[in-house]
Structure 1
Amino acid sequence: MNIKVNPQIELKPLEMGDSKPIFSILDQQRDYIGKWLPFVQYTHKIEDTRKFVASMIEEAEKNTTKVYSIMLGSELIGLISFKDISRVNKSTEIGYWISQDYQGRGIMTDAVRQMCKMAFEEWKMNRIVIKCAEENYPSKRIPQKIGFKYEGLERESIVMIDGQFANLEVFSLLKSDGMKI
């Protein structure tokens, strides 16, 4: 099921046909996107992306992950996902990235809002988490704008492309908190 974000943007469930545009963005913006997403350094050919997409589709069938392509009309411009979905604990984490060409337009903030709305209203989740690299200021602004609360720092939680560890800031939103419009 596709999710309408606004008149121009729609989220559609990830499918194998998305592999080529995903790889194209990652390959063209390797330095920029790879700065914050370490997996980019392991994505050297289209087959690497196909394997990723296939694994995410398999995880979606198990209801542990749900990945959506962010579509501007017919153009894929990024990905957003629910990961670590726990129906028992009524919690999930949202992860995202968007092409540098489309940043700063509010697209991702609106997409995250729609994902939160779906998690709280349709899935009856209680808690949503977003984790961002400590120095990734554009990414951190998204949960802050929506009303997520800063919970703390996961020290040296992720290995970056340069082999150095980076801290992740953890933000959460409870259903009872309500979202900022």
Structure 2
Amino acid sequence: MIRIRIDDDLELREIHQRDRKKIYDVVDENRVFLKRWLPWLDYTKSPHSYLSVIKSWQQNIEMGTGMELGLFYHDEFIGMCGFTTIEPNSRRAQIGYWLAQEYEGKGLMMKTVKGLTDYGFKEVGLNRIEIICGEKNLRSRKLPEALGFTPEGTMKEYEFLYDHYHDCILYRMLKSEWPY
């Protein structure tokens, strides 16, 4: 089981089927807030919706092609942060994250992404880590920018959000540039 201790209060953990109700409840309580930037919310209508999703996350971990992890604060599930994709041959990964609204603005995701990036370079052996953010999602963009990730460009109409396409910015960090 993957567990990444961020600090005394914060931990990333591998998700299991027994966690599906916790995930659903947090998503459902934050549905309107999260829907502005996450395109998958309409597919999560019940805890049962997560059966195949969690199975896929577990398979990706086993194959080394992803590492989606639950974020726990004082042992309470509050969001997700992990490598949505890992390209083992290129030693490259992409980080995705979301957080329940009540925990925003406390620096929790900043610490988590920093810890996951460090883990990716030191434990997974990655050379490049990417983060893709909606161009207009200024709150999400502050995170890679504050950690020193380099914006590589804007990807026009990169993602479809329910009724429209939106542009996204690709950020990257190379192992040789990681200052921590």
Q: TM-score range by the shorter chain?
A: over 0.9
Count of aligned positions: 179
Deviations 1:77-131 (A, max 9, x none): 0011112211211110000001011011111111111111111111221100000
SS in 2 for 1:89: coil
d(CA) in 1 for partners of 2:155, 2:17: 33
TM-score (norm 2): 0.95
d(CA) in 1 for partners of 2:137, 2:20: 26
d(CA) in 2 for partners of 1:147, 1:107: 17
SS in 2 for 1:38: coil
d(CA) in 2 for partners of 1:43, 1:33: 12
Q: Matched residues, percent identical?
A: 28
d(CA) in 1 for partners of 2:38, 2:104: 16
SS in 2 for 1:12: strand
1:35 maps to what in 2?
A: 36
**2:110 matches 1:126:** no
Q: CA RMSD in A?
A: 1.2
SS in 1 for 2:40: helix
Letter paired with 2:124:
W
Runs of 4+ with >6 A deviation: none
1:50 to partner: Cα distance: 2.4
Deviations 1:8-66 (A, max 9, x none): 10111111122111111111111110110010022111111222112211221111111
d(CA) in 2 for partners of 1:10, 1:28: 21
**2:100 matches 1:105:** no
2:160 maps to what in 1?
A: 159
**2:174 matches 1:169:** no
The answer for unaligned runs of 5 or more in structure 2 is none
